[in-house]
């Protein structure tokens, strides 16, 4: 703002302040407001339209005919005023009648006015009215004047709320009715359906007071908030996770640039000078930036705008003291969480019974938060562009992560269709839940072992809910991912003991930590040698890291051995590429075992060791490793990414390679055949085993043990009970000898004809 703008705004604010402080009734106040604005802006007309019974009603005017007050009414989207309210955007026109949406209202006598400018009066992100000015001369209003008008609109929003002149709830439902449905597309991160209401992880701040009582005090508040915000940003950038270059660093550099931007601070200070409170000043400057950015159509700039919005919101939260996330504010029972991104710990703060779904602007299949959400059974849709612009707090949402969409403000027909799908889904889930006590025995009498994957203490409840045979993969790194610091041995022991207690007689296969790669921990520095990993999935992760990171595996081994005192312990090592890695890992356990023995501590009753087959190279040395192990668990998530050289977290490749490809099935068949002479249990614990057709193919390969996501147990059990294993073995062996062009559709037809998979 230049000095004239500051003065004009201050002048208007002082007058509005007097009007608001007066003891007159709301209508008289509005009449005074239009006069004050008209005079200050030297404008012939000033009018205020407010939302009443779904229409924008002329509530007060200076310059138009007074007979039109409470008579002229426009629908949202009708006429210039309606368009402003509909789009929550200002209009500035030299020739109003030339605008395609211009709608002439004879009762107002407005024909003699050519120029028109109007801005929405916004309350909780929704237009509850419009304030406009008109002039006889055909001229565009200057930026200074528009800005003054926007400041007025902010004040008016406070006035009309205090006077209860509009019904906010009405504004909300009206917007839903009138803006119509909007479908957002994204990337399925965790499948599932949910219907609920948008809750922002970091709620937008509602500004209660706009006009400052004490400008100096407001300046101090904003000054301190800036200090605190910069401190926070500096702190984040100094954390190890962000210190290693790449995307994070780029994002943070931009953040820092904005946080320290002199121009931004100056503009906010100027807005305070004009008489606004600190909150209103921040919002005022943000509105202006938004307005300018909208005129530039550049996706890169749009991203930067998100950064700036984030910072402005952070500043607002600090200054207003409204710091908590939605998790801390009491969650409604049908919440669909909206966020740019989330950390796993942040997600875990939410009550999982109330959280129905998550939609993110970012996120990838293997991001920590997604792994945790999957474990919590919460559908997640990611990579939704402009999410936080399109969706508003409180919007009704239909999340269909199966089809990678979310619908805002759905039409009744859409809701009906969704509900039908939802009901069918629920019906199916209920039918599967009924399978809880059914044993997974095939038609030809073969008992298949169905275990579940887990990683958190709370996941243990899934054992009894699904009737699974045990935990086939316990991802111990989850505890590390959700902790702010490296979990101590005591904490690890406690978790493992609780897990074993909850499992009772059912076995649990603990996988030693699989961290590193994409699962970086902020407190565990990766870049001691300053090297940035270009291919972290093939990098220094899992056992590779655990063996070299002094103490990490040692501590975990002790924790597992102590937790399993007096019971059976099953340990498996991830990402084994060569047998010596297994030997080295087992050595660590042996040393700890010897230590416990020497101290005469209670020890596990039995220890069974296993390895995960995730790296193809191990397949060539199975005969060497098999005599040393009790079980082999095939991690098809990693295995397929390495077999196909296709990054499992790259959405562009997500659909490219099929788990039913002869390459994978033949590979797995060879593994099963090589291991069969040894006393080694073979299981599959990747996502593949939770899908019916894929699981059927695995049965056909002779695999009798699956460890799958809990939500899939019912449907896989049902499939098993409808299958003749000997028959599928024979037919798969034929298909692998002579693969049909499209094995998936051939198999699907085969399974349908036999009613193994009916839908």
Task: Count Cβ atoms within 10 A of the Cβ of residue 117 and give its class: 0-12 exposed, 13-18 middle, 19 or more buried.
Answer: buried
Residue closest to 442 by CA, chosen among 732, 690, 759, 699: 699
For residue 685, the partner it binds in Mg ion, ligand PEP, none, with Cβ less than 5 to 8 A by kind, is ligand PEP
Task: Count Cβ atoms within 10 A of the Cβ of residue 742 and give its class: 0-12 exposed, 13-18 middle, 19 or more buried.
Answer: exposed
Q: In sequence order, what are the beta bridge partners of 475?
A: 511
With both helix axes pointing from N to C terminus, report the angle between 552-563 and 579-598 in degrees, rounded to the nearest 10. Answer: 60
Pick from 283, 309, 518, 638 the residue near Mg ion by CB under 5 A: 638
Footprint of ligand PEP on residues 419-478 (CB under 6 A)? 473, 475
Give min distance, CB of 651 to ligand PEP, in A: 17
In the complex with ligand PEP, which residue's Cβ is closer, 86 or 694? 694
Task: Count Cβ atoms within 10 A of the Cβ of residue 303 and give its class: 0-12 exposed, 13-18 middle, 19 or more buried.
Answer: middle
Largest CA distance in the chain: 100
Please tell me what DSSP assigns to residue 53: T
* Rounded CA separation 581/587 (Å): 10
For residue 279, the partner it binds in Mg ion, ligand PEP, none, with Cβ less than 5 to 8 A by kind, is none
For tokens 């006429």, name the residue.
Answer: 79
With both helix axes pointing from N to C terminus, report the angle between 692-700 and 725-737 in degrees, rounded to the nearest 10. Answer: 90
For residue 475, the partner it binds in ligand PEP, Mg ion, none, with Cβ less than 5 to 8 A by kind, is ligand PEP
Footprint of ligand PEP on residues 468-497 (CB under 6 A)? 473, 475
Give min distance, CB of 714 to ligand PEP, in A: 20
Sequence-ordered list of residues with C-beta below 8 angstroms from that of 626, at least 6 positions apart, any chain: 632, 674, 675, 678, 680
562: left (phi over 0), alpha (psi -120 to 50) or beta: alpha
Give min distance, CB of 476 to ligand PEP, in A: 10
Sequence-ordered list of residues with C-beta below 8 angstroms from that of 680, at least 6 positions apart, any chain: 626, 629, 630, 631, 632
Contact (CB, 8 A) for 243 and 527: yes
Q: In this chain, which residue has its C-beta nearest to Mg ion?
A: 638
Give min distance, CB of 517 to ligand PEP, in A: 9
Rg (CA), the chain: 32
For residue 686, the partner it binds in Mg ion, ligand PEP, none, with Cβ less than 5 to 8 A by kind, is ligand PEP
Residue closest to 259 by CA, chosen among 207, 210, 315: 315
User: Does residue 158 belong to the site contacting ligand PEP (CB under 6 A)?
Assistant: no
For residue 311, the partner it binds in Mg ion, ligand PEP, none, with Cβ less than 5 to 8 A by kind, is none
Give min distance, CB of 686 to Mg ion, in A: 7
* Rounded CA separation 633/470 (Å): 14
For residue 462, the partner it binds in ligand PEP, Mg ion, none, with Cβ less than 5 to 8 A by kind, is none
Footprint of ligand PEP on residues 284-343 (CB under 6 A)? none
Sequence-ordered list of residues with C-beta below 8 angstroms from that of 667, at least 6 positions apart, any chain: 616, 619, 643
DSSP string computed for 486-548: PPPHHHHHHHHHHHHHHHTTS-EEEEPP--BTTB--TTS---TTSPPPSSGGGSSBHHHHHHH
Binding-site string for Mg ion from residue 588 to residue 617, where x marks contact by CB under 5 A and - marks none = --------------------------x---
User: Does residue 686 belong to the site contacting ligand PEP (CB under 6 A)?
Assistant: yes
For residue 393, the partner it binds in Mg ion, ligand PEP, none, with Cβ less than 5 to 8 A by kind, is none
In the complex with Mg ion, which residue's Cβ is closer, 286 or 520? 520
In the complex with ligand PEP, which residue's Cβ is closer, 400 or 614? 614
Which tokens go with 513? 């930590």
DSSP string computed for 637-676: HHHHHHHTT--TT-GGGTTTS-TT-HHHHHHHHHHHHHHT
Task: Count Cβ atoms within 10 A of the Cβ of residue 98 and give its class: 0-12 exposed, 13-18 middle, 19 or more buried.
Answer: exposed
Binding-site string for ligand PEP from residue 602 to residue 641, where x marks contact by CB under 6 A and - marks none = ------------x--------------------xxxx---
For residue 145, the partner it binds in Mg ion, ligand PEP, none, with Cβ less than 5 to 8 A by kind, is none
Which tokens go with 342? 């989330």
In the complex with ligand PEP, which residue's Cβ is closer, 119 or 706? 706
Give min distance, CB of 89 to ligand PEP, in A: 46
Question: Given the rule CB under 5 A, which of 126-134, 321-329, 529-537, 630-638 is the region that contacts Mg ion?
Answer: 630-638
Residue closest to 512 by CA, chosen among 558, 573, 584, 579: 573
**# residues near Mg ion by CB under 5 A:** 3
Pick from 63, 472, 604, 635 the residue near Mg ion by CB under 5 A: 635
* Rounded CA separation 310/49 (Å): 32
In the complex with ligand PEP, which residue's Cβ is closer, 102 or 657? 657
In the complex with ligand PEP, which residue's Cβ is closer, 392 or 475? 475
**# residues near ligand PEP by CB under 6 A:** 10
Helix or strand holding residue 726 (H, E): helix 725-737
Pick from 30, 564, 685, 732 the residue near ligand PEP by CB under 6 A: 685
For residue 440, the partner it binds in Mg ion, ligand PEP, none, with Cβ less than 5 to 8 A by kind, is none
Q: In this chain, which residue has its C-beta nearest to ligand PEP?
A: 635
Pick from 218, 514, 681, 718 the residue near ligand PEP by CB under 6 A: 514
Give min distance, CB of 486 to Mg ion, in A: 21
DSSP string computed for 145-201: HHHHHHHHHHHHHHHHHHTT-S-HHHHHHHHHHHH--EEEE-EEEE--EEEEEEEES
Beta-carbon-side half-sphere exposure of residue 118 (alpha carbons within 13 Å): 28
User: Does residue 518 belong to the site contacting ligand PEP (CB under 6 A)?
Assistant: no
In the complex with ligand PEP, which residue's Cβ is closer, 41 or 683? 683
For tokens 């940035």, name the residue.
Answer: 532
In the complex with ligand PEP, which residue's Cβ is closer, 267 or 648? 648
Contact (CB, 8 A) for 532 and 245: yes
Footprint of ligand PEP on residues 30-69 (CB under 6 A)? none
In the complex with Mg ion, which residue's Cβ is closer, 176 or 614? 614
In the complex with ligand PEP, which residue's Cβ is closer, 172 or 368? 368
For residue 636, the partner it binds in ligand PEP, Mg ion, none, with Cβ less than 5 to 8 A by kind, is ligand PEP
In the complex with ligand PEP, which residue's Cβ is closer, 33 or 468? 468
For residue 365, the partner it binds in Mg ion, ligand PEP, none, with Cβ less than 5 to 8 A by kind, is none
Distance of CA 569 to the CA centre of its chain: 36
Give min distance, CB of 376 to ligand PEP, in A: 16
In the complex with Mg ion, which residue's Cβ is closer, 453 or 592? 453
In the complex with Mg ion, which residue's Cβ is closer, 218 or 614? 614
In the complex with ligand PEP, which residue's Cβ is closer, 384 or 713? 713
In the complex with Mg ion, which residue's Cβ is closer, 477 or 718? 477
**Interacting residues with Mg ion (CB under 5 A):** 614, 635, 638
**Interacting residues with ligand PEP (CB under 6 A):** 473, 475, 514, 614, 635-638, 685-686
């Amino acid at each position: 703002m230049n000095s004239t703008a500051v003065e004009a705004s201050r002048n208007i604010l002082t007058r509005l302040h007097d009007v608001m402080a007066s003891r007159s009734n709301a209508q008289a106040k509005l009449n005074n407001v239009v006069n004050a604005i008209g005079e200050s802006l030297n404008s012939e007309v000033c009018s205020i339209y407010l939302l009443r019974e779904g229409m924008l009603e002329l509530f007060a005017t200076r310059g138009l005919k007074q007979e039109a007050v409470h008579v002229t009414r426009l629908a949202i989207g009708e006429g210039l005023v309606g368009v402003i309210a509909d789009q929550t955007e200002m209009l500035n026109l030299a020739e109003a009648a030339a605008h395609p949406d211009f709608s002439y209202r004879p009762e107002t006598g407005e024909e003699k006015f050519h120029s028109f400018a109007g801005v929405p009066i916004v309350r909780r992100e929704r237009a509850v009215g419009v304030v406009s000015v008109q002039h006889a001369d055909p001229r565009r209003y200057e930026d200074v004047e528009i800005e003054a008008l926007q400041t007025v609109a902010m004040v008016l929003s406070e006035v009309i709320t205090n006077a209860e002149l509009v019904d906010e709830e009405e504004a909300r439902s009206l917007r839903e009715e009138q803006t119509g449905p909007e479908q957002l597309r994204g990337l399925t991160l965790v499948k599932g359906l949910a219907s609920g209401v948008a809750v922002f992880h970091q709620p937008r701040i509602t500004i209660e007071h706009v006009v400052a009582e004490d400008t100096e005090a407001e300046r101090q508040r904003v000054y301190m908030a800036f200090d605190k915000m910069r401190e926070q940003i500096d702190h984040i950038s100094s954390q190890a996770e962000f210190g290693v270059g790449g995307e994070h660093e780029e994002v943070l550099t931009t953040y820092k640039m904005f946080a320290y931007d002199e121009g931004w601070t100056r503009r906010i200070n100027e807005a305070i000078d004009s008489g606004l409170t600190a909150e209103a000043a921040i919002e005022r400057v943000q509105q202006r930036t938004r307005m300018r950015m909208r005129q530039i159509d550049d996706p890169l700039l749009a991203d930067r705008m998100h950064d700036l919005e984030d910072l402005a919101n952070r500043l607002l939260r600090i200054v207003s003291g409204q710091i908590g996330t939605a998790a801390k504010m009491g969650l409604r029972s049908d919440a669909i969480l909206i966020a740019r991104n989330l950390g796993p710990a942040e997600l875990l703060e939410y009550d999982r019974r109330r959280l129905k779904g998550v939609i993110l602007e970012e996120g990838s299949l293997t991001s920590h938060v997604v792994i945790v959400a999957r474990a919590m059974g919460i559908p997640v849709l990611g990579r939704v562009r402009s999410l936080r612009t399109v969706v508003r707090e409180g919007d009704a949402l239909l999340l269909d992560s199966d089809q990678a969409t979310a619908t805002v403000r759905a039409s009744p027909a859409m809701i009906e269709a969704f509900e039908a799908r939802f009901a069918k889904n629920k019906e199916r889930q209920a039918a599967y839940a009924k399978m809880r006590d059914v044993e997974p025995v095939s038609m030809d009498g073969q008992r298949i072992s169905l275990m579940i994957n887990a990683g958190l203490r709370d996941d243990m409840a899934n054992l009894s809910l699904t009737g699974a045979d045990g935990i086939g993969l316990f991802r111990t790194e989850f505890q590390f991912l959700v902790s702010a610091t490296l979990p101590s041995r005591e904490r690890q022991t406690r978790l493992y003991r609780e897990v074993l207690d909850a499992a009772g007689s059912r076995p649990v296969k603990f996988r030693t930590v699989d961290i590193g790669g994409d699962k970086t921990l902020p407190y565990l520095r990766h870049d001691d040698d300053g090297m940035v990993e270009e291919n972290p999935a093939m990098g220094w992760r899992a056992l590779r890291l655990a063996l070299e990171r002094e103490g990490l595996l040692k501590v975990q081994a002790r924790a597992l051995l102590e937790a399993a005192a007096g019971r059976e312990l099953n340990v498996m090592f991830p990402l084994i590429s060569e047998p010596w890695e297994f030997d080295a890992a087992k050595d660590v356990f042996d040393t700890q075992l010897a230590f416990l023995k020497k101290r005469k501590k209670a020890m596990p009753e039995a220890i069974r060791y296993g390895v995960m087959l995730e790296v193809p190279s191990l397949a060539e040395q199975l005969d060497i490793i098999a005599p040393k192990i009790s079980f082999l668990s095939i991690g098809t998530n990693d295995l397929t990414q390495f077999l196909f050289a296709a990054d499992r977290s790259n959405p562009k490749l997500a659909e490219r390679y099929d788990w039913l490809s002869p390459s994978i099935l033949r590979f797995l068949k060879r593994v099963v055949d090589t291991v069969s002479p040894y006393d080694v249990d073979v299981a599959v614990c990747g996502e593949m085993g939770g899908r019916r057709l894929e699981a059927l193919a695995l049965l056909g390969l002779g695999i009798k043990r699956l460890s799958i996501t809990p939500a899939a147990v019912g449907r896989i059990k049902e499939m098993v009970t409808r299958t003749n294993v000997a028959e599928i073995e024979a037919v798969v062996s034929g298909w692998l000898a002579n693969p049909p062009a499209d094995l998936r559709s051939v198999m699907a037809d085969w399974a349908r004809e036999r009613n193994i998979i009916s839908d």
